[in-house]
Amino acid sequence: MNENLFASFIAPTILGLPAAVLIILFPPLLIPTSKYLINNRLITTQQWLIKLASKQMMAMHNTKGRTWSLMLVSLIIFIATTNLLGLLPHSFTPTAQLSMNLAMAIPLWAGAVIMGFRSKIKNALAHFLPQGTPTPLIPMLVIIETISLLIQPMALAVRLTANITAGHLLMHLIGSATLAMSTINLPSTLIIFTILILLTILEIAVALIQAYVFTLLVSLYLHDNT
């Protein structure tokens, strides 16, 4: 009960050395691969989900945009597995760290924007000034559009961080309330424990949805620049 509310968000260490890198590299090991001609049900389901997600994200892209398909599929798998592992007790969630999410969002956003300026510079510059803008408003609109462009990676990172952090804090608070009420009132404990189970199911859904939303927004940024 005296545990710090934000203790689960502190980067873990092993013998004084940061263990975040090992934790980040761990999720890919959970993705099974098959060496056989006929796959089992788990791998078949996994391939079907990957194909479904990639089909939805790549349907709107041209040939140049579809070259990012492997990167986007890898991104959604990494974020989803990392979010799900963070729901385990006494675990660490890298995607609850803003620095981690910025490290994913900024390079992907910058790559999409640079590609847009290299391939379609006229269309890329046209986004800064909508057609038919009154002359007195041109400087203000250019500044606003520039800020909205530069804030995109920050919005990506903050959205993912806020959703994961809020869910973990709420689960921590309800779990602590369940433990405190267990010695006071058993019926109330059962009600709170039921709420905790329902919240855990919701957080599993949020973990998967946030991975999809993050990757889909990167895909939209790519679509606007290809």
Tens digit of each residue's pLDDT (9 = 90 or more) over 56-66 = 777 777 777 77
The DSSP symbol for 129 reads S
What average pLDDT does the segment 155-174 reach? 86
Q: Does the pLDDT value for residue 8 go beyond 70?
A: no
What average pLDDT does the segment 55-76 reach? 81
Whether the CB-CB separation of 69 and 58 falls below 8 Å is answered with yes
> Does residue 2 lie in a domain region?
no
> Does residue 79 lie in a domain region?
yes
> Does residue 72 lie in a domain region?
yes
CA-closest candidate to residue 96, choices 8, 29, 30 = 8
Mean pLDDT of the chain, nearest integer = 80
Where does the chain have alpha helices with state H?
A: 20-25, 41-58, 69-85, 98-119, 121-126, 138-150, 152-181, 186-224
CA-closest candidate to residue 216, choices 49, 72, 63 = 72
If one compares 6 and 27, the residue with the highest pLDDT of the two is 27
Q: What is the pTM of this model?
A: 0.77
Going by pLDDT thresholds of 50, 70 and 90, the confidence category of residue 2 is very low
Whether the CB-CB separation of 215 and 76 falls below 8 Å is answered with yes
What percent of the chain has a predicted confidence (pLDDT) above 90?
A: 2
Q: Does the pLDDT value for residue 7 go beyond 80?
A: no
> Does residue 209 lie in a domain region?
yes
Going by pLDDT thresholds of 50, 70 and 90, the confidence category of residue 6 is low
SS3 assignment, position 86 = coil
pLDDT the model gives residue 77: 85
Number of domains making up the chain = 1
> Does residue 219 lie in a domain region?
yes
> Does residue 162 lie in a domain region?
yes
Domain span at 134:
7-225
pLDDT tens, 177-206?
888 887 787 888 888 888 888 988 998 899
pLDDT the model gives residue 1: 45
